[in-house]
Amino acid sequence: MRNRRAPGRPVTETGARGDVADIALAGGGERRVDWALGEMPVLRRLMERFETRRPLEGIRVSGCLHITTETANLARVLAAGGAEVVLCASNPLSTQDDVAAALVARYEIPVFARRGEDTETYYGHIQAALDHRPQITLDDGADLVSELHKGRTELLGELIGGTEETTTGVIRLRAMAREGALRYPIVAVNDALTKHLFDNRYGTGQSTLDGIIRATNILLAGRTFTVAGYGWCGRGIAMRARGLGAHVVVVEVEPLRALEAAMDGFRVMPLIEAARESDFVVTATGDRHVVDRPHLEVMKDGCVLANSGHFNVEINIPALESLAIEKRAARPGVEEYRLGDGRQLRLLAEGRLVNLAAAEGHPAAVMDMSFANQALVAAHLAAHADALEPAVHPVPEAIDREVAQLKLEAMGIRIDTLTEAQRRYLASWREGT
């Protein structure tokens, strides 16, 4: 059996390892993982290619990722390529326990993740993933890389390289690189065009609305819906909220982004003004305390607060706790806070990624591209890591273009090609009118 050397204790009769909530959920998890694979044609192509070429033969890979159906399929592709994969969660609330069970019991991929795990268990699970002695790390938010650099530096010698999935992780890693603290090369998968233009925008857009609706079942049409941050995620959330009939307000700190939002047809104003009239305030900034005490003090009665940025710091939850005189679980994933003046504010998913905590995260069809980048970059690292400095590197352009091409083919879309005369014209500066 694969991964007998993997960390953790056996949790199945066949000796598969990990720490999951309930191994009996594996059957349902396997069916959902297969359903997702049906929406991931690029990964299916890569799985076939990896099975034949084995680009990751014998390489130990530790991934700190959201344990979802799509991640399960990425892990299967890496394993098909010969990698020994171990996974832990990149967020305590995003784990799908049935998927974790399926990964362990059906695909023999050790997983350390239980939905709702406390902070100590969360970091314990990261340590377990590091006990695998990874040669390649896959991160979503840079917790794995950060823990490795803080306390497990004995592992640095074996590391080939790593990948980072999200904006917040890339920002943390660039900060490490600036301080000279980053000790091995990381490829910023988030920065691939076939990642953030689609995953952050269409994936976060759809799944954030999905999470809010599943958690609250509140009609959006005619309501005021404020989005803080008009980056790739914020653009997608604003676009989809408008599609459901909400009056969308955008809050920004960057003039260019604010201008873009205004010309995209959204009202733009400071949050302190928007807070007074908003029925929903959703953050997607990567920043802390975007919704702060002064906003909470004037916020409209009944306002729903949700976050789709990586960490649960965008809404100042300690301030909300201190303003509240009473708190109750109104529905699964919805905490209702009653304030001293009688207003009620509703916080979704404890301020954690609402699309993963209250829904299922991004639809598989969009993760197909993000994870195709992950798989191809892992193979690229295995083949070329010697050439890379310990720094944050872009995804090679050839990989980005290949992922776009494969996705177009899978969608049955054909495009035109330049004629030779056009190629020459575009390469020349001599011709004008």
Ligand X SMILES: NC(=O)c1ccc[n+]([C@@H]2O[C@H](COP(=O)([O-])OP(=O)(O)OC[C@H]3O[C@@H](n4cnc5c(N)ncnc54)[C@H](O)[C@@H]3O)[C@@H](O)[C@H]2O)c1
Residues making contact with ligand X (CB under 6 A):
166-168, 196, 200, 204, 228-234, 251-254, 257, 284-287, 290, 308-310, 353, 355-356
The residue among 3 and 316 lying less far from ligand X, judged by its C-beta, is 316
Query: Tokens 């953790």 label which residue?
Result: 8
**Kindly report the CA angle at 355 between 353 and 361, in degrees rounded to 5?**
110
Query: Least distance from C-beta 137 to ligand X, angstroms?
Result: 17
Query: Least distance from C-beta 61 to ligand X, angstroms?
Result: 22
Query: Tokens 């002695």 label which residue?
Result: 133
Residue 356 contacts residue 140 (beta carbons within 8 Å): no
Query: Least distance from C-beta 195 to ligand X, angstroms?
Result: 9
Beta-bridge partner residues of 33: none
Query: Least distance from C-beta 257 to ligand X, angstroms?
Result: 4
How many Å apart are CA 38 and CA 44, to the nearest integer? 8
Radius of gyration of the chain (CA): 22
How many Å apart are CA 384 and CA 268, to the nearest integer? 46
334 φ, ψ to 5°? -125, 115
The residue among 63 and 110 lying less far from ligand X, judged by its C-beta, is 63
Please report, to the nearest 10 degrees, the dihedral formed by the alpha carbons of residues 388, 161, 144, 168 taken in order: 50
Query: Least distance from C-beta 156 to ligand X, angstroms?
Result: 25
The residue among 216 and 285 lying less far from ligand X, judged by its C-beta, is 285
Query: Least distance from C-beta 252 to ligand X, angstroms?
Result: 5
Query: Least distance from C-beta 92 to ligand X, angstroms?
Result: 15
The residue among 135 and 374 lying less far from ligand X, judged by its C-beta, is 374
The residue among 137 and 190 lying less far from ligand X, judged by its C-beta, is 190
**Kindly report the CA angle at 111 between 107 and 115, in degrees rounded to 5?**
120
Query: Least distance from C-beta 190 to ligand X, angstroms?
Result: 7
Specify the length of the chain in residues: 433
The residue among 62 and 355 lying less far from ligand X, judged by its C-beta, is 355
Residue number, nearest CB to ligand X: 231
How many Å apart are CA 382 and CA 400, to the nearest integer? 18
Residue 194 one-letter amino acid: T
CB atoms within 10 A of CB 433: 2
How many Å apart are CA 47 and CA 194, to the nearest integer? 19
The residue among 65 and 353 lying less far from ligand X, judged by its C-beta, is 353
Query: Least distance from C-beta 6 to ligand X, angstroms?
Result: 28
416: phi > 0 → left, psi -120 to 50 → alpha, else beta; which? Answer: beta
The residue among 18 and 229 lying less far from ligand X, judged by its C-beta, is 229
List Cβ neighbours of 428 (8 Å cut-off, separation of 6 or more).
none
The residue among 185 and 309 lying less far from ligand X, judged by its C-beta, is 309
List Cβ neighbours of 67 (8 Å cut-off, separation of 6 or more).
87, 89, 94, 95, 96, 99, 100, 103, 111, 113
